[in-house]
Structure 1
Amino acid sequence: MKKFFIIVIFVGLLFVTIVFGFKKYGLYVMSNKINTIVLSKEGNDFKRKLLPKAETGFATPEDGKDYRIFNHNQAWFEQQITEGRVERWTQRTSETYYIGKGSSAKAMTHPITLNAYFLKNTTETNKTVIIAHGFGLSGDKYGAWGKMYYDLGYNVLLPDARAHGKSEGNYISFGLQEKDDYTNKQGWIEQVIEKIGPDSEIYLHGGSMGAATMMMVAGEAVPANVKLLIEDCGYADLNIPFRHLKGTILSKLEGQNGAYKFKRNLAGLNLNVPIDEQDINYLFDRFLHVFNERYELAENDRDVLASVSAVQAMNTTALPVLFIHGQSDALVPFKETTETLINSKQSNRNNARYEEYFPANANHGAAIKVDYETYKSKIQAFIAHHTQLIGEQQ
Structure 2
Amino acid sequence: MKLSSIKPSPFKSVILPLTAITAGSFWISLKLFDIAFKRVDYVPETSKEKQQYADQYYEYVDWFHKMPSEEWYLNRDDPDKKMVATYIPAEGIAKKTVIIAHGYKGNRETMANYAQMFHNMGYNVLTPDDRGHGDSAGKYISFGWLDRLDYLKWIDQVIDHVGEDSKILLFGVSMGGATVEMLSGERLPTQVKAIIADCGYSSIKEELTYLLKKQYHLPEYPVEPMVSEINKRAAGFGLDSASSMKQLEKNTRPILFIHGGKDTYVPSYMAYENYQATHAPKQIWIVPNATHAESFWYDPVAYKRRVQEFLRTYF
> In 1, Cα distance between the equivalents of 2:223 and 2:186?
34
Residue 86 of structure 1 corresponds to which residue in structure 2?
69
Pick closer, same or farther for the CA change 1:326–1:25 going to 2, 3 Å. same
Matches within 5 A, 1:1-394: 30-41=28-39, 43=40, 45=42, 48-49=44-45, 52=47, 59-61=50-52, 69-80=56-67, 85-92=68-75, 111-183=80-152, 187-247=153-213, 250=216, 283-294=223-234, 297=237, 304-335=238-269, 337-345=270-278, 348=279, 352-387=280-315
Pick closer, same or farther for the CA change 1:94–1:318 going to 2, 3 Å. farther
Q: Deviations over 1:19-45 (max 9, x none)?
A: x9999877765543322221121x454
AA of the residue aligned to 1:358: I
Give TM-score, length-normalised by structure 1: 0.68
The question of whether the paired residues in 1 share the 8 Å contact of 2:131 and 2:142 is answered with: no
> In 2, Cα distance between the equivalents of 1:126 and 1:322?
21
The question of whether the paired residues in 2 share the 8 Å contact of 1:327 and 1:361 is answered with: yes
Pick closer, same or farther for the CA change 1:148–1:229 going to 2, 3 Å. same
> In 2, Cα distance between the equivalents of 1:122 and 1:341?
35
**RMSD of aligned Cα (Å):** 2.9
Deviation at 1:324, TM superposition (A): 0.3
Deviation at 1:68, TM superposition (A): 5.5
Pick closer, same or farther for the CA change 1:182–1:75 going to 2, 3 Å. same
> In 2, Cα distance between the equivalents of 1:224 and 1:25?
50
Q: After TM superposition, where is structure 1 displaced by more than 6 Å over at least 4 residues in a row?
A: 20-27
AA of the residue aligned to 1:92: N
Any gaps of 5 or more consecutive residues in structure 1?
A: 1-19, 96-109, 252-276, 298-303, 388-394
Q: Deviations over 1:335-394 (max 9, x none)?
A: 2x122112113xx3xxx110111110111111001111010011112112213xxxxxxx
Deviation at 1:281, TM superposition (A): 5.2
The question of whether the paired residues in 2 share the 8 Å contact of 1:132 and 1:207 is answered with: yes
AA of the residue aligned to 1:162: R
> In 2, Cα distance between the equivalents of 1:242 and 1:309?
12
Pick closer, same or farther for the CA change 1:44–1:244 going to 2, 3 Å. farther
> In 1, Cα distance between the equivalents of 2:48 and 2:65?
18
Deviation at 1:316, TM superposition (A): 1.2
Deviation at 1:154, TM superposition (A): 0.7
Q: Which has the higher strand share?
A: 1
AA of the residue aligned to 1:60: Q
Q: Deviations over 1:315-345 (max 9, x none)?
A: 111100011001111111002x122112113
Tell me the SS of whatever aligns to 2:62: helix
Residue 7 of structure 1 corresponds to which residue in structure 2?
none
After TM superposition, the structure 1 stretch with the greater mean CA deviation from structure 2, 193-202 or 241-250, is 241-250
Tell me the SS of whatever aligns to 2:139: coil
The question of whether the paired residues in 2 share the 8 Å contact of 1:94 and 1:111 is answered with: no
Deviation at 1:295, TM superposition (A): 5.2
Residue 257 of structure 1 corresponds to which residue in structure 2?
none
Any gaps of 5 or more consecutive residues in structure 2?
A: 1-17
The question of whether the paired residues in 1 share the 8 Å contact of 2:209 and 2:224 is answered with: no
The question of whether the paired residues in 1 share the 8 Å contact of 2:60 and 2:113 is answered with: yes
> In 1, Cα distance between the equivalents of 2:85 and 2:236?
29
Give TM-score, length-normalised by structure 2: 0.84
Pick closer, same or farther for the CA change 1:222–1:196 going to 2, 3 Å. same
Pick closer, same or farther for the CA change 1:249–1:340 going to 2, 3 Å. closer
After TM superposition, the structure 1 stretch with the greater mean CA deviation from structure 2, 317-326 or 31-40, is 31-40
AA of the residue aligned to 1:170: K
Deviation at 1:216, TM superposition (A): 1.5
How high is the sequence identity, in percent, across the aligned residues?
Answer: 29
The question of whether the paired residues in 1 share the 8 Å contact of 2:208 and 2:224 is answered with: no
Deviation at 1:285, TM superposition (A): 4.3
